[in-house]
Amino acid sequence: MSEAHDVRERPGRFAVGVIGTGRVGSVLGAALSRAGHRVVAASAVSDRSRRRAAELLPGTPLLPPPEVAAAAELLVLAVPDDVLPELIGGLAETGLLRAGQTVVHPSGRHGIGVLEPARTAGALPLALHPVMTFTGTDVDLARLTGCSFGVTAPEAFRPMAEALVVEMGGEPEWIAEADRALYHAALAFGANYLTTLVAQSADLLARIGVGAPGRMLGPLLGATLDNTLRSGDAALTGPVARGDAGTVAAHLEELARVSGSRAGDPLVNAYLALARLTADRALEAGLLAPERAGELLKVLNDDRAQS
């Protein structure tokens, strides 16, 4: 607790504890340390987490979660979404969350409702979710600069939440408590499923002998992402947006052949689902002519395409 005392002597600086030194927790702890706060304790379960802590939080004592909570003025709970409620409840029940303490989690799914046990104990609850994919290395510290954070906080604590985000190099974006799940779903659409789509595309190219799928896809995907962020649906190109029903039918036939024509095949169904969504958006944006949409939709809604 002597280190916590040293930090308190510097106005606006916190003694920070990090429970969970995974890819996110270790980087946020390092970002707070870089901003002048002192990480006085952290918890790590796996060997990988211990290595991250050693690299990003050098010299920080690794302690059990209750001891981390007891030492921290600013407690970062960087654990999986489904573990978070149980962890908060357990810390509150044992009296380790207290008045004047700030309790933060970086979960995208949860807002501050999950921190209600901390709030009841008198702690200040903040949800600070960095909109970034993490490697768990010092590369991520640079990526935090200009990174948006989805922030949910009680009105009275908004200035503190904003200050912490800015100190870590980020930009706060306020998300209402009721909108957290939809906010997180939107990010999953754009980030998590992008990896799935790109990896699937690379697998199909490799299957036909393309030696460097990444090199082939890189310029195309980079331009597509840039165009889409600038222009939205106006950036749509390809056979669905053009209404080329024959081309789409050929795609489905080949994908069914590659996957073994299994009923309900995930690869075929994924193509169909994305093509239908793309057709809807292209129609709405005026890119897909209604007279060309009819034949396309017949192909996309043909039950034989899914078997």
pLDDT tens digits for range 268-293: 999 999 999 999 999 999 999 999 99
Quote the pTM value.
Answer: 0.87
> Considering 175, 197, 214, which residue would you say is the last residue of a domain?
175
Q: φ and ψ at 263, to 5 degrees? A: -65, 135
Q: Could you give the 3-state DSSP secondary structure of residue 222?
A: helix
Q: In what order do the strands lie in the sheet with 15-19?
A: 38-43, 15-19, 74-77, 102-105, 124-130, 148-152, 171-174
Rg of the chain in Å (alpha carbons): 24
Question: Residue 260: which pLDDT band, with cuts at 50, 70 and 90?
Answer: confident
Residue 19 CB partners (closer than 8 Å, separation 6+):
25, 42, 43, 65, 68, 69, 75, 76, 77, 78, 79, 87
Give the separation between CA 26 and CA 137, rounded to whole angstroms: 8
pLDDT at residue 306 tops 90: no
Residue 263 and residue 219 share a domain: yes
- DSSP code for 46: S
Residue-level pLDDT at 259: 86
> Considering 115, 149, 175, which residue would you say is the last residue of a domain?
175
Residue 170 and residue 150 share a domain: yes
Number of domains in the chain: 2
Residue 146 and residue 193 share a domain: no
Residue-level pLDDT at 302: 81
pLDDT at residue 5 tops 80: no
Residue-level pLDDT at 209: 97
